[in-house]
A and B are shown apart, each in its own frame.
Chain A
Amino acid sequence: MNNIEEKIWAYIDGSCSEEEALAINLLIEQDVNYQKIYDEIVTLNERLSSLELDEPSMAFTYNVLENIRNENAKQPLKTTINTAVIKGIAAFFLVTILALLILVVINIDWSTNTTNNYTLPKLNLLSDSVLKGCMFLDIMLGAFLADTFLRRKDTLKHI
């Protein structure tokens, strides 16, 4: 350390070694010049510590959140519509259709099939209207859940 002030600042900040601190402490007690500079620095240090922070305008927080909202709104449609959402919904429909086809094939009564008099295979499931209703409800629920899940993942990724 070069000069008295630098030593005293380090002593006040506690950034000097224990030995240095002891030596500076002794100098402050014994040397009038050191004592004078020490008092000045301590006062300035106290004044700086008691400085008040500046206050921004009342609408500051509101403006920040508004900027965030505007920035999200400004994004082009291409970036707001995530292709993963579209792909997810498409995959859901494909899986549903595939599962239905498998179910249909499994449930076909092949014994009614004759070579001379062909009749369509019979499905041994619920009544037609109930089945359609259930299927429609399932598909809607599935699509809704897939959309919610994928959108949540997308939001977290973009924050």
Chain B
Amino acid sequence: MQNKLSDTVLIDQTLAGNQSAYAELVKRHQRFVFTLALRFVKKREDAEEIAQDCFVKAYRSLNQFQHQSKFSTWLYTIVYTTAMSSLRKKQLDISSIDDEKNTIQIEAFSTGYEMNNVEKKSRSFYLNEAISQLLPDDAVIITLFYKGEQSIDEIATTLNIEKNSVKVKLFRARQRLKEKLEHILKHEVKELI
């Protein structure tokens, strides 16, 4: 069985002109990059476009990667900046808990929830639903911490903020997530958490 090559080896091979090594790097990180992009935009097509753009940018700047941090940390920095500028450019509608539109959606969602069986919906579904209703910054910090295997220090590097700010932001994001879950699931939240 072939051993899994490290990111560093794959980067070196890519720099030597081996494009299939870069394809391997893309395959390795695409799910997380795509998930992270989905925290900024609601449509899967938009998220996929951003994720692809990030990998193209990373390829172009690969010779500037200094190996001082993990490749994933460096890549997530690109994702964060690309997604943020994409948001600014397209002026996409970012929903927040206070949006009138969003409240209607939540109410409709809750009604549907009460009518249907709880068992049919997985816990992940509701968690993802709650995360998708958070502000991008909150959703990103939660995703980086739980799914990106990033430490507080690495998240600070990715988001270009202080370590203590990351701690505060993470705490607030989790609080807001809990509130969202309580809003969506009402009394049934206790079954989830």
Q: A-side interface residues toward B, CB under 8 Å?
A: 5-6, 9-10, 13, 15, 40, 43-44, 47-57, 60-61, 63-65, 67-68, 71, 152, 155-157, 159
Contacts and interface: CB of A to CB of B under 8 A. Distances in A.
Interface residues on chain B, size class = 35 or more
B15 A56 contact: no
A159 B167 contact: no
A68 B56 CA distance: 6
Given A56-B30, A64-B30, A64-B55, 6 more contacts: A54-B31, A64-B59, A67-B56, A68-B59, A152-B17, A159-B14
Main secondary structure of the interface of B (DSSP, over half): helix
Interface stretch (B86-94, B96-104, B170-178): B170-178
Nearest to B20: A65
Contacts of A9: 170-171, 174
B79 interface: no
B171 A6 contact: yes
A5 B175 contact: yes
A54 to B, nearest CB: 5
A48 B22 CA distance: 30
B184 to A, nearest CB: 14
